[in-house]
Amino acid sequence: MKLCLGILFISHLAMAQTMPSIPCVPPPAPPPAPRVGQAPPNGPGRGRGPQAPQTPEDTAEIAKLSQLPPWTTAAVDGDYTTGPGYPTAPELSKRVGVPEGKVVEFVMNSADSKAYPGVNGAFQRHVCVYVPAQYVTGTNAPVIVAADAYGMRYNLPTILDNMIYDQRLPVMVAVMIDNGGAERSMEYDTVSAKYVQFVEDEVLPRAEKEAGVKLSKDPEARMTLGGSSGAAAALTMAWFRPDLYHRVLSYSGTFVNLRNGPEAPLGAYEYIENLFPKAEKKPLRLWLQVSENDNGVKSASANRRNWVTANSRLARILKDKGYPYQFVYSKGAGHTQRKVINHTLPQALEYVWQGYAAQ
């Protein structure tokens, strides 16, 4: 039994750490699913070994999530459920008469990077920049910075076209940054300021140049977005640089002990065990999602590798500390599942951008 649980966790861990490279147009087909027992590609042996199974206390804790109130358009701060039905939000479809923005693509060579030159050799990183039709050249635009070029996977340009046109979101740019391939976990799961500094020093200046835009430096006008380890990166960016980012949107966040080190002995689980509980409240607004069948759900929370308990406990801390946040528990769904994102992303964006006023 323990061996089976260990193998199941390894397959979940591999899926959490790997994501195909995605140029702006068109996205490539995803790679084959990892074979059962296959080692994670971002570090041989990490996560190996059987995991203790979910305890009765864990089972009871998770069962309570299904009793949360439904997430509706009228939802305020707090904890909610959605599903098991997930109709695609209408904002993902193009509408006649809505001006379409443009997407500018460029490629960064790791050999030119000071932060991530390529541990195992040089690689290329695609960056996709959405510029709305309403953008006025020379003005400072609010910006979404997305890990894993996430927006290109989930029709973010069309969503923004529609919601900007309807005046539900400000006129904003989205910079969607591909991951470092085999180095994805190193970039995203490391709890430090390194990745956000890379984005600020190397990616955003290039994005401004290539797309002909100016990005606001106002942290109220900046949001991070990601899923899985990309969500860990999104939170880490805002946590270490709240002078640059106040808004965070996370799907199936990998807030677990996946990549630890001297500065973060528990990896991203530090956010739950130490960082949020012990720090003064920061000026962050967050939207968090996790799924009923997310990674590690059958493992004991004491392992600090159960995505469901990690996300729900983070939400509880946010509530206790008085953060503006929403936590959404998705019934009948799995890790960063497309149907959930296609259903929730527009409304999640609208929540995260509440209260924004252009300076």
Tell me, yes or no, whether 116 lies in a domain.
yes
**End-to-end Cα separation, the chain, in angstroms:** 58
Tell me, yes or no, whether 47 lies in a domain.
no
* Residue ranges making up the domain that contains 325: 56-352
Q: What span, in angstroms and rounded, lies between the C-alpha atoms of 129 and 119?
A: 26
pLDDT at 151: 85
Tell me which residues of the chain have a pLDDT lower than 50: 1-18, 26-49
Q: What span, in angstroms and rounded, lies between the C-alpha atoms of 304 and 58?
A: 12
pLDDT at 44: 27
Q: What span, in angstroms and rounded, lies between the C-alpha atoms of 316 and 272?
A: 9
pLDDT at 262: 87
The DSSP code sequence of 125-184 is EEEEEEE-TTPPTTSEEPEEEEGGGHHHHTTHHHHHHHHHHTTSS-S-EEEEE---GGGH
Two tokens, residue 297: 């759900």
Tell me, yes or no, whether 42 lies in a domain.
no
| CA distance readout (Å), 146 to 213, 224, 230, 307 | 17, 6, 8, 21
Question: Which tens digits make up the pLDDT trace of 26-71?
Answer: 443 333 333 333 333 333 223 334 678 999 999 999 999 999 999 9
- Please, are residues 327 and 341 in contact by the beta-carbon 8 Å criterion? no
Q: What span, in angstroms and rounded, lies between the C-alpha atoms of 337 and 103?
A: 24
pLDDT at 51: 77
Tell me, yes or no, whether 5 lies in a domain.
no
- Please, are residues 1 and 130 in contact by the beta-carbon 8 Å criterion? no
| CA distance readout (Å), 58 to 119, 289, 328 | 39, 18, 18
Q: How big is the chain by its Cα radius of gyration, in Å?
A: 19
Count of domains observed in the chain: 1
What's the predicted TM-score (pTM) here?
0.88
Q: What span, in angstroms and rounded, lies between the C-alpha atoms of 243 and 106?
A: 27
Closest to 324 (Cα-Cα) out of 289, 357, 283, 290: 283
Tell me, yes or no, whether 17 lies in a domain.
no
Torsional class of 248: left (φ above 0), alpha (ψ -120 to 50), beta (otherwise)? beta
pLDDT at 48: 36
pLDDT at 22: 56
pLDDT at 354: 97
Question: Which tens digits make up the pLDDT trace of 108-124?
Answer: 999 999 999 999 899 99
| CA dihedral of 314, 80, 309, 44, whole degrees rounded to 10 | -90
pLDDT at 228: 97
Tell me, yes or no, whether 158 lies in a domain.
yes
- Please, are residues 258 and 305 in contact by the beta-carbon 8 Å criterion? yes
Q: Please, which residues bridge with residue 138 across strands?
A: none
CATH number of the domain that 327 lies in?
3.40.50.1820
Tell me, yes or no, whether 45 lies in a domain.
no
Which H or E run includes 215? strand 214-215
- Please, are residues 336 and 228 in contact by the beta-carbon 8 Å criterion? yes
Tell me, yes or no, whether 175 lies in a domain.
yes
